[in-house]
């Protein structure tokens, strides 16, 4: 059997059978994970709170349960992490903000409860862009989180700490939140997998909201199967979140290895081919060619109205965020990052008619995707138009034209937050600078199984998911 350090780099799907059989103890996994975190934290700064003592106790408890024949499933005894936007009972939950720096909730978020019920050991609360409101994860209160592939670059946001921790074996997987990109963007920047489920598939109860109608919670992992395993644990109706749908939850690992022979993959003829970094475009084209080799059938699809997605996203996101944080912002404005504070203040300037017009645009975008999905099973796009950027960089250059980093980094993902469909980001290459490139697969509502199957087919035929950063 591999040494414990090597086991930390393996996926949950390979380690779980060893835990179940008693060949590996959850105590060993947690101790090794905590040592990794301690070693890398000065370089990566992925954590706001490390739960060392509690994690060791939970690991011992898991070990006893498994030895006693009470195995709960593939996450039992596995070290996982949580974006610090999700509430944890009795444990500091900062939202990455000075305004919540002393907030200790008396509840667990439903997703945290479900991970605990599955036997997972929570080892840490991850750094993020303050309140989930940004792409860089350059956190005003807790410091910048660094991309493990290039330490001077952003890990993506807002779940950047989660992605950096997962990529560097600071946990086997983590929960992020995605309002405009924030599960898929950091996964893409860090060369790992990010799965945003359908809006309504996963409860958001106990999450510090950014924008209610756009927020999704999803897994960030090193492999597609691990994302499916985590989704199995967290998906489902929750009476505490009225937006969750009471629809059956399949086993997302079932049939995940069946391949994609005959699957219809939509290739957008507009929007997703505009203002793309040439190395990103080349890597994604190669990935699409790989899908064809695996049996996929390409179909051109048109996605009208997407050119208005960013405007709708910002209008809805800023307005909802301003409403959610209104009271705290008035009580302690000086505790917010000045840039985040400006965004929240900006939300106060959006009128009801602005907001409703943006929601109308959203309906048109949903219709656009619905029409496209009538002729295909999934749509393939780049996850991001650009690889990660240096932490201090504020603009990205496309064909001589500057674009704000936030707009660049959410341009290809935010349309899906607006439409509410599921989407998965998977690694598909590297730039010559050694920065990861990512492929996005978009599916039909509540059909996460199909995007997982397509992503797994691509993953099983390539090596990108086996490449981890040396920090």
In angstroms, give the least distance from the CB of 196 to other proteins: 15
Question: Could you say which of 263, 389, 426, 468 contacts other proteins (CB under 8 A)?
Answer: 263
Element at 79 (helix H, strand E): strand 79-83
How far apart are the C-alpha atoms of 363 and 9, rounded to whole Å? 42
Residue 196: strand pairing partners: 423
Question: Could you say which of 185, 217, 358, 455 contacts other proteins (CB under 8 A)?
Answer: 358
Question: Could you say which of 47, 83, 114, 308 contacts other proteins (CB under 8 A)?
Answer: 308
Burial of 172 (0-12, 13-18, 19+ CB in 10 A): buried
Question: Could you say which of 318, 324, 336, 412 contacts other proteins (CB under 8 A)?
Answer: 318
Tokens, residue 184: 């898929």
Q: First and final CA of the chain: distance in angstroms?
A: 24
User: Which residues make Cβ contacts (< 8 Å) with residue 242, sequence separation at least 6?
Assistant: none
3-state secondary structure of 244: coil
Of 174 and 415, the one with the shorter C-beta distance to other proteins is 415
How far apart are the C-alpha atoms of 19 and 24, rounded to whole Å? 5
Element at 32 (helix H, strand E): helix 26-44
Q: Parallel, antiparallel, or unpaired: how do β-strands 378-382 and 436-442 relate?
A: antiparallel
Under rule CB under 8 A, residue 354 binds other proteins:
yes
In angstroms, give the least distance from the CB of 340 to other proteins: 11
Under rule CB under 8 A, residue 377 binds other proteins:
yes
Site for other proteins, residues 155 to 214, rule: CB under 8 A: 199, 213
In angstroms, give the least distance from the CB of 403 to other proteins: 13
Residue 266: strand pairing partners: 299, 379
Under rule CB under 8 A, residue 133 binds other proteins:
no
Site for other proteins, residues 433 to 452, rule: CB under 8 A: 443-447, 449-450
The DSSP symbol for 390 reads: B
In angstroms, give the least distance from the CB of 422 to other proteins: 11
Under rule CB under 8 A, residue 363 binds other proteins:
yes
Query: Which stretch in 84-92, 98-106, 136-144, 303-311 sits in contact with other proteins by CB under 8 A?
Result: 303-311
In angstroms, give the least distance from the CB of 211 to other proteins: 11
Residue 207: strand pairing partners: 86
Under rule CB under 8 A, residue 246 binds other proteins:
no
Under rule CB under 8 A, residue 357 binds other proteins:
yes
In angstroms, give the least distance from the CB of 128 to other proteins: 21
- DSSP assignments along 128-166, one per residue: -SGGG--SS-EETTTEE--BTTBTTB---SSSHHHHHHH
How far apart are the C-alpha atoms of 293 and 79, rounded to whole Å? 36
Tokens, residue 305: 């109205």
Helices 448-460 and 224-234, packing angle to 10 deg: 160
Of 81 and 98, the one with the shorter C-beta distance to other proteins is 98
Number of residues that bind other proteins (CB under 8 A): 67
Question: Could you say which of 13, 94, 111, 315 contacts other proteins (CB under 8 A)?
Answer: 315
Tokens, residue 206: 């106990």
Question: Which residues carry out catalysis?
Answer: 83, 158, 182
Under rule CB under 8 A, residue 241 binds other proteins:
no
Of 122 and 329, the one with the shorter C-beta distance to other proteins is 329
Query: Which stretch in 148-156, 168-176, 311-319, 390-398 sits in contact with other proteins by CB under 8 A?
Result: 311-319
Question: Could you say which of 52, 107, 282, 364 contacts other proteins (CB under 8 A)?
Answer: 364
How far apart are the C-alpha atoms of 420 and 417, rounded to whole Å? 5
Of 43 and 367, the one with the shorter C-beta distance to other proteins is 367
> Among residues 323, 365, 371, which one has the least CA distance to residue 345?
323
Residue 198: strand pairing partners: none
Site for other proteins, residues 70 to 109, rule: CB under 8 A: none
- Residues near other proteins (CB under 8 A): 199, 213, 247-248, 250, 255, 257-264, 289-290, 293-295, 305, 308, 311-312, 314-315, 318, 330, 338, 341-343, 345-350, 354, 356-364, 366-367, 370, 373, 376-378, 420, 443-447, 449-450, 457, 460-463
């Amino acid at each position: 059997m591999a040494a414990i350090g090597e086991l930390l780099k393996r996926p949950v799907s390979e380690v779980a059978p060893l835990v179940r059989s008693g060949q590996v103890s959850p105590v060993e996994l947690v101790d090794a994970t905590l040592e990794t975190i301690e070693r890398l934290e000065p370089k990566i700064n992925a954590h706001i709170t490390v739960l060392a003592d509690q994690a060791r106790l939970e690991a011992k408890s898991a070990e006893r349960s498994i030895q006693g024949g009470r195995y709960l499933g593939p996450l039992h005894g596995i070290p996982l992490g949580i974006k610090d936007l999700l509430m944890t009972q009795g444990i500091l939950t900062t939202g990455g903000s000075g305004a919540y720096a002393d907030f200790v909730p008396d509840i667990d978020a439903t997703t945290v409860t479900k991970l605990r019920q599955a036997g997972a050991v929570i080892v840490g609360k991850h750094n993020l862009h303050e309140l989930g409101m940004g792409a860089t994860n350059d956190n005003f209160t807790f410091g910048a989180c660094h991309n493990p592939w290039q330490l001077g670059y952003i890990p993506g946001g807002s779940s950047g700490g989660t992605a950096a921790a997962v990529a560097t074996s600071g946990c086997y997987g983590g929960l992020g939140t995605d309002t405009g990109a924030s599960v898929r963007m950091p996964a893409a920047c860090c060369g790992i997998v990010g799965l945003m489920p359908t809006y309504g598939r996963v409860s958001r109860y106990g999450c510090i909201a950014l924008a209610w109608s756009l927020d999704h919670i999803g897994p960030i992992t090193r492999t597609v199967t691990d994302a499916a395993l985590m989704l199995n644990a967290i998906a489902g109706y929750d009476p505490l979140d009225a937006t969750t749908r009471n629809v059956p939850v399949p086993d997302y690992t079932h049939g995940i290895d069946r391949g994609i022979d005959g699957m219809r993959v939509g290739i957008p003829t507009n929007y997703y081919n505009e203002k793309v970094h040439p190395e990103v475009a080349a890597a994604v084209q190669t990935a699409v060619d790989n899908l064809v080799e695996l049996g996929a059938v390409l179909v051109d699809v048109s996605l009208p109205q997407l050119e208005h997605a960013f405007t709708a996203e910002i209008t809805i996101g800023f307005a909802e965020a301003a409403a959610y944080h209104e009271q705290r912002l008035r009580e302690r404005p000086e505790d917010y990052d000045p840039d985040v504070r400006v965004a929240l203040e900006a939300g106060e300037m959006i009128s009801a008619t602005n907001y409703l017009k943006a929601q109308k645009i959203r309906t048109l975008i949903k219709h656009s995707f619905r029409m496209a999905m009538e002729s295909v099973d999934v749509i393939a796009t780049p996850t991001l138009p650009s690889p990660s950027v240096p932490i201090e960089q504020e603009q990205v250059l496309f064909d001589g034209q500057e674009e704000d980093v936030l707009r660049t980094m959410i341009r290809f993902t935010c349309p899906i937050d607006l439409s509410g469909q599921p989407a998965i980001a998977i690694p598909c290459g590297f730039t010559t600078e050694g920065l990861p490139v990512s492929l996005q697969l978009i599916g039909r509502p509540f059909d996460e199984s199909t995007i997982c199957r397509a992503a797994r087919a691509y993953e099983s035929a390539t090596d990108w998911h086996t490449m981890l950063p040396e920090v």
